[in-house]
Structure 1
Amino acid sequence: MHRPWVPGVAETAAVAAITGIGFAVVLSGPASAAVLIPLGLLGPVAAVVDAREGRLPDLITGPLLGATTLVALGSGPNGFRAITVAAAATAGASLIATLSADALGWGDVKLVPSLTIVLSLQHALLNGLIYALLLIVVTTVIVGAGERRSIVPYGPAIVFGTLGAAAGL
């Protein structure tokens, strides 16, 4: 090969996912890290797509929710509690998106149940919310520095805030 290899979006997302899963397993053990696997695999993909295209497609958020819900159902009573919390959080996010389309996008609303299930099962709801909000502020400052009416993708902030909080970072 005479040309230097430059990793693409898929390779970057795969490395981020494998790194995140590795940290999660080391920090919290294999049993509790099971809920992080779907988010670790599909979360970085969702974040990259949202950052590049400004949307979160159903082809990513649907399988993420399905896999996360299956892991939660296998977690017994804690899983059912996490699903209930996720339903309430999704209802709240839907209300925000309905009242103000500029405040929260529907793609972000589609991510909320998966992220809430992960955070609930890892007992990190408050930390996840704080991390996501801090990352949203940083993203808004960076993206908003160029133009006043820039669209800020929340996907990367909420995905990586969730992964960080759930992994105990």
Structure 2
Amino acid sequence: MTAESLWALAITALLAALLAWCFTPVVRAFAEPGTVWLRTRAHLPLAALAGWGAAVVAESAAELVALAAVGVGCSLLIVIDLVSHRLPDLLVAGTLGALLVPLVVASSLGHQWSALGRSLLAGMVLLLGYFLLALITPSGLGLGDVKFAAVIGCLLGWFGWSEVAMGTLLGFTINGVIALVLVLSRGGGRSSEIPFGPSMVFGAVLAVAISV
């Protein structure tokens, strides 16, 4: 890896962290001041990592903007979900828009309309799939998770159907492992609420990392 590439990675990570810092009041609106996630500004390193990863994966400037932007949005949503077990509709919608608008530009410049169509279709498929799961097991999934599934689906769909399947499976697997650890450590029980948003994000990230 050249020095120029390292600088590009570092600059993208820094810009993503700065953007996340600008949205700190949004996180504060859903988190109590004393919570460890807010006190340590956990969304900042998460956004920096997302920016770094976006620079590694992206093949064009527009794709870089899309992936970094959705990474920043997900960093905010992860912290909010960990603190309040909520995925606010406005932030979920904003994250989806921040992903799709640059992807439209990337598709028009690189003639990747099939990838964009697959992205949109995957978003709808996961949205419907999660909605059906929420109807079957309402205690396991909330409507916030259902709506957020559209973001994850569009992100993974941009890369391919195998990534959609792998990312979805990894999300459920990670959440299941967390639940098992909590039960075995006697820190939680069957009634313990485990935020699913972070597992969805990390499952998607792992799927993309494995595929590239």
Asked if 1:44 corresponds to 2:85, the answer is: no
Question: Aligned AA for 1:18?
Answer: A
Q: How many residues align?
A: 163
Asked if 1:147 corresponds to 2:177, the answer is: no
Asked if 1:162 corresponds to 2:201, the answer is: no
Question: Aligned AA for 2:74?
Answer: G
In structure 2, do the counterparts of structure 1 residues 10 and 42 end up closer, same or farther at CA, with 3 Å as the change threshold? Answer: farther
What is the CA deviation profile of residues 69-97 of structure 1, one whole-angstrom value per residue up to 9, with x for unaligned ones?
Answer: 22333322211221012112211211221
Question: Aligned AA for 2:133?
Answer: I
CA RMSD of aligned residues (A): 2.3
Provide the identity percentage: 25
Partner of 2:137: 100
In structure 2, do the counterparts of structure 1 residues 37 and 151 end up closer, same or farther at CA, with 3 Å as the change threshold? Answer: same
Partner of 2:168: 129
Partner of 1:65: 96
CA distance in 1, matches of 2:37, 2:175: 26
Instruction: Map 1:8-23 to 2 at 5 A.
Output: 8=38, 11-23=41-53
Task: Give how far 1:158 is off.
Answer: 0.6
CA distance in 1, matches of 2:41, 2:92: 19
In structure 1, stretches of 5+ residues that fail to align are 1-5
CA distance in 2, matches of 1:23, 1:49: 22
In structure 2, stretches of 5+ residues that fail to align are 1-35, 108-112
- Greater Rg over alpha carbons, structure: 2
SS in 1 for 2:42: helix
Question: Aligned AA for 1:155?
Answer: G
Instruction: Map 1:84-123 to 2 at 5 A.
Output: 84-123=121-160
Task: Give how far 1:46 is off.
Answer: 0.7
SS in 2 for 1:146: coil
